[in-house]
Amino acid sequence: MKPKILLYDIEVSRDIVAGYGPTYEFKVVKTIQHQQLMCFAYKWLGDKKVSYVSRHDFPTYKKFVQFLAYLQNEADIVIAHNANRFDNKMANRFFLKEGIPPPSPYKSIDTLQVARSKFKFQSNSLRALSDFLELGEKEKITYADLEDDFMTDEPSRKTLRLMKKYTQMDVVLLERIYLKLRPFISNHPNVADLAQSDHMCPKCQSYDVEKRGFIRTRSGQRQRYQCRGCSGWSSEATKKGNGRLVNA
């Protein structure tokens, strides 16, 4: 079975708080409204369609949040920029708050962590990486400007349109960045294991892997491969060479 890989990006509102004091030492006395899920965009890797989901499209907030849980539930792997420290955790927080049970366990790929751990970029933000790698048009994003209107019951059509455009664009860029970084991801979830298939690249599911040297250890050597599809490196899991490839 082909693994289902979900690329997603959530937009979350600010906390609204009451308090007093000068800006630089403002004292929060009370939270009037906690952060909420505003909207998100998603795409299944390999599909052309980029979908957008807004809180305004659902009869209740809970049903909206439930839809995100449904998507994660369907996914074997989820990918987001800052997935491990933001998107996945924020999603869990919304599920818990709305009384939604956890989605089935998934593996996570965080393109921000990959950017930080494998490269030295000037900035690791999604937009900065897209500019640097020339993956998309430059656009000045002002989610903060859209938020106030978006969170009202009757936001303007312009706000809704721009929010949709920007959020979808982030997922398009996320996919491009992921595909660019993929061969460098050494701990990529093994998609060949998920597909239960031998002789398959553990990163991109291609069977077009080429023998390229060996991994040598004291107990012997294992065949090493490079994928002609994604350029990622892998090796036989055992020195006997049973065709199960793992990340090298």
The nearer residue to Zn ion, 36 or 206, going by C-beta atoms, is 206
Among 232, 233, 237, 244, binds Zn ion (CB under 5 A): 232
Tell me the H-state helices in 75-205.
88-97, 111-118, 126-132, 143-150, 157-181, 191-195
Give yes or no for a contact between 17 and 89, defined as CB atoms under 8 angstroms apart.
Answer: no
Residue 189 lies near Zn ion (rule: CB under 5 A): no
The nearer residue to Zn ion, 171 or 230, going by C-beta atoms, is 230
The nearer residue to Zn ion, 128 or 179, going by C-beta atoms, is 179
Buried b (16+ CB within 10 A) or exposed e, 149-179: ebbeeebeeebbebbeebbbbbbbbbbbbbe
Smallest separation (angstroms) from Zn ion to the CB of 246: 13
Which sign, positive or negative, has the C-alpha torsion 162, 140, 45, 81? negative
Among 141, 159, 229, 239, binds Zn ion (CB under 5 A): 229
The nearer residue to Zn ion, 177 or 230, going by C-beta atoms, is 230
Smallest separation (angstroms) from Zn ion to the CB of 203: 5
Interface map 193-222 toward Zn ion (x if CB under 5 A): --------x-xx-x----------------
Q: What are phi and psi of 92, to 5 degrees?
A: -60, -40
Residue 126 lies near Zn ion (rule: CB under 5 A): no
Q: 113 is written with which tokens?
A: 């962590």
Compute how many other C-beta atoms are within 10 angstroms of the C-beta atom of residue 238. Answer: 13
Smallest separation (angstroms) from Zn ion to the CB of 231: 7
Spatial distance between the Cα atoms of 124 and 86, rounded to a whole number of angstroms:
15
Size of the site for Zn ion (CB under 5 A): 8
The nearer residue to Zn ion, 15 or 208, going by C-beta atoms, is 208
The nearer residue to Zn ion, 69 or 227, going by C-beta atoms, is 227
Containing H/E element for 8?
Answer: strand 5-12
Which residues of this chain interact with Zn ion, rule CB under 5 A?
201, 203-204, 206, 227, 229-230, 232
